[in-house]
Structure 1
Amino acid sequence: MKGKSIFSLFITLVVTVVLVFLCVFGVGKDSKTLSMANIKLGLDLSGGASILYEADKADVTEEEMASAVSLIQGRLDRKGWTEAECSKSGDNRILVEIPGVDDAEQAIAELGQTAQLMFMDMEGNVLLTGSDVADAKKEVADVDGNGVTEPYVSLKFTEEGTQKFAEATKNNIGKQIAIVLDDSIQSAPTVNSEITDGNAMITGNFTPESAEELAALIRAGSLPFNLNVIQMKNVGARLGADALETSLNAGFIGIAIVLLFMIAVYKVSGFAADWALIIYVTLELIALNVFNVTLTLPGIAGIILSIGMAVDANVIIFERLKEELLNGRTLRSAVDSGFKRAFPAIFDGNITTLIAAGVLFWLGTGTVKGFAQTLMIGIVISMFTALVVTRIIIKGLMGVGIVNPKHYGLRIK
């Protein structure tokens, strides 16, 4: 029994060391995957520009908004702002966040207001523009007639665009017509015959995702509305760094106080809770990497709140444990009963908070969503560490001979 307990504690220690190593150094010399350094920081922590666009048209459809988001994200990528994010905010607004940019007005000027979609021949002459396209969507069919289906993009032109496209294809049989969006060639199919029905297809080595993306970009190029800037703000890099440093210092001090308090009040049980809390923090940081969460100041608040809930769960368990000891149960029986009696209260409390966080994530935007994300992740992990990891550690410590009830916080007057 003692050997089994020692082995259990040893495995838990090894897992803890591995998790800490991953958080500090990550995987890969350059990428540092899963490390703290690999966590994406929001503008309030890293500095940058935030721009809020609004469509100048009422009753914008979901498809149109998705196309606009795809367009702007593509522009951000082509400008080299690979860390920038573009997301829908509300029904008709789009939020663009660009880390590392100090001048929001300059970013707006570089992004521009509307898309420029063109169909060009090999000599660079413009044959059609985005205004001539009525619709574009991803399709899957046997394009080559060889029995193998593949994704492609189907185009539907306007009445005027149909006439232009018929003339363009007639004059360029055997040649390529390039589809250009914002000066970037998206595709350059070869014309096989004159097309007069107003329909066309773009084939190539598409995946379902890339075909959908290209269709979205083409739809975006022919959006019937402009995007107006209604809010822009700059966050200095120094200010963001100061906010991050202050938040981390506050978090470290708070966790240190909690660790000391748990040991002082609950002795061995407190040590087990502290050990589980260290595992919790490492799992939380790794989860932020895995789920690609952008960490913001409200997100840090969500993490700290979930740490408090993890500690609260342990407190409930240990108080139940002490009650069982006072009722005359043996330590082993008291531990089993304490965890069993504490579970309903812990589960109900965490589930209600999880539901509230889910509603915030569903209805919220921006930093509110970031807070909800970290809180939900933290709640799930905290339940695991409090109910499973803490129990494993306490059972292991009991198995190696630490069985005096006083060592588990019991005080008999």
Structure 2
Amino acid sequence: MKNRLYFYIFLILFCLWIALPPLVINLPFVNKPITIKPEKIEINVLGKKLGINNEYKLGLDLQGGSHLVFLVDTSGFKNQDIESAVEASRNIIEKRINFFGVAEPQVYLLKQNNNYRVSVDIPGNKNPQQAINQIGKTAQLDFREYKTKEVQQGTESAQMAYFEPTKLNGQFLKKAALVFDQQSGNPQVSLVFNKEGARLFGEITKKNIQKPLAIFLDEQLLTAPTVQQAITDGKAVISGDFTVEEAKVLINSLNAGALPAPIKLIEQKTVEATLGQANIRQSLLAGVFGLLCVIMFMLILYKKEGLVAFISLMVYTIISLALYKILGIVLTISGIAGFLLSIGMAVDANILIYERIKEEQLLLKDKQIAVRSGFFRALAAIKSANFNTLLVCLILFNPLNLSFLPEFGMVRGFALTLALGVLLGLFTGVFITKNILWRIYKIEK
């Protein structure tokens, strides 16, 4: 029992540490301010880095940004291949936006009848054209062999040189990176092929020794170095008249890959923040004031049990705010509304428990038995109500992208924060409230 209590205390303190903003302390005789909490926490889980940013992610309606919608052309795919092609296109678009360096883009699919759309929200970005260029840019890389053929010119024949495509192209690329020429210092693009690409590159270079091997990008000749020897390690370097920025753009395009299905921009707009910083601050103050009123009501009406509800509600709020950072949930106006509604439901659960305890005490007289009986009788009603709410949240979130259900980010944000709040409310109501009541009234487990 003590171990469980220690676990709850540790969990609450950890979530409090995550939820609170960094504390900056200015000490005398110290030139640099001391930050108690790092800006970003990185946790390595099974070789994968999970980052916890110290800032809450705000949606377009809270901080403004760019909103883009692309129509995916699926006419060239069989019915069984459409879903995978559209999903792959969505993933590549998201990867390209991430390479672009914008803050926390939201990319999701919309399906209406047989039309597939990819909606892209980029909070904080006020130049949609840059994002459009990055998303729409397709870097088609391929290697071509030097060939000659005889052509007839009047009564004489002549040799004409040309480059013939090989099977080696960007499809076999594993990674592209920025390097610099050791002699000139000019930026270059280093290529590393996968296993099959390395085999093809080895075969091509082996049969083209002392011949030019051309590298084309989007049908434009970049460079045509002469092969000195067979290259079997699967590595190559593109050298050209690049600036560092141009090389980085090329690298990002190569790493992101080509879109499996063509896309067409059908909507673009710059979204201004619906709420300014002053309005956000006022809304938060209003929420805190409302929360304090609820707490005062609980303390006046239920006395000792009201204090338990206050503790449970504080734990609920701390864990909720921490999870928003850990899970990277994007906060929108509708999402905040869902969070506030879930707080009301968490309070409602405590009221149901205490009112049921009152009824049981009138019948049973013994306080300990009344608390135990009232708690478990109320719990059945709480679970039933929360289950129905979760079912509604599932319908609103529409995880399968069904066309006859809502597909809008605003509705999904509301559903997500409300569902998370309902689950947390069950946790704080069942575990936190129960454990405190059991300790107050010395009820045996």
Q: Report what 1:221 is aligned to.
A: 258
Letter in 2 for 1:52: V
Q: Which residue of the partner structure matches residue 88 of structure 1?
A: 109
* Runs of 4+ off more than 6 Å: 7-14, 33-36, 132-138, 166-169, 172-183, 190-194, 216-219
Aligned to 1:111: 134
CA contact (8 A) 1:24 1:36 kept: no
Within 1, Cα distance between the matches of 2:85 and 2:256?
8
Q: Give the Å deviation of 1:89.
A: 2.5
1:38-187 pair list within 5 angstroms: 38-58=55-75, 61-90=82-111, 92-108=116-132, 110-111=133-134, 113-120=136-143, 152=194, 170-171=207-208
Displacement, 1:244?
3.5
The amino acid of 1:300's aligned partner reads I
**Residue 29 (structure 1) aligns with:** 38
1:398 aligns with 2:441: yes
- Partners of 2:163 and 2:310 lie apart in 1 by 67
Distance 1:78 1:253, change over 3 A: same
Distance 1:45 1:88 in 2: 22
Give the aligned residue type for 1:47.
G
Structure 1: how far apart are the matches of 2:366 and 2:204? 91
Q: State the Cα distance separating 1:25 from its structure 2 match.
A: 4.3
Aligned partners of 1:352 and 1:172: how far apart in 2? 71
Alpha-carbon offset, residue 38 of structure 1: 2.9
Q: Which amino acid aligns with 1:253?
A: F
CA distance in 1, matches of 2:374, 2:302: 14
* CA deviation map 1:159-181 (0-9, x unaligned): xxx9xxx9898537999987979
Which structure has the greater CA radius of gyration?
2
Distance 1:73 1:9, change over 3 A: closer
- Aligned: 1:256 with 2:292: yes
Gaps of 5+ in 1: 139-150, 156-161, 195-201, 205-213, 401-413
SS at match of 1:395: helix
One of 432, 435, 439 as aligned partner of 1:389: 432
Higher relative contact order (CA 8 A, sep 6+): 1
Q: How many equivalent pairs are there?
A: 353
Query: How much does 1:310 deviate?
Result: 0.9
Q: Is the 8 A contact 1:169 1:191 kept in 2?
A: no
Structure 1 contact 9–393 (Cα < 8 Å) conserved: no
Say yes or no: does 1:245 pair with 2:281.
yes
TM-score norm. by structure 1 comes to 0.69
- Report if the CA contact (8 A) 1:137-1:154 is conserved: no
Find the aligned partners of 2:438 and 2:218 in 1 and give their Cα distance. 63
2:366 paired with 1:330 = yes
Q: Which protein is richer in helix relative to its size?
A: 1
Query: Match of 2:104, SS?
Result: coil
**Aligned position for 1:353:** 389
CA shift, 1:349, in A, is: 0.8
Task: Report how far residue 98 of structure 1 moved.
Answer: 1.5
- How far the C-alpha of 1:325 sits from its partner, in A, is 1.1
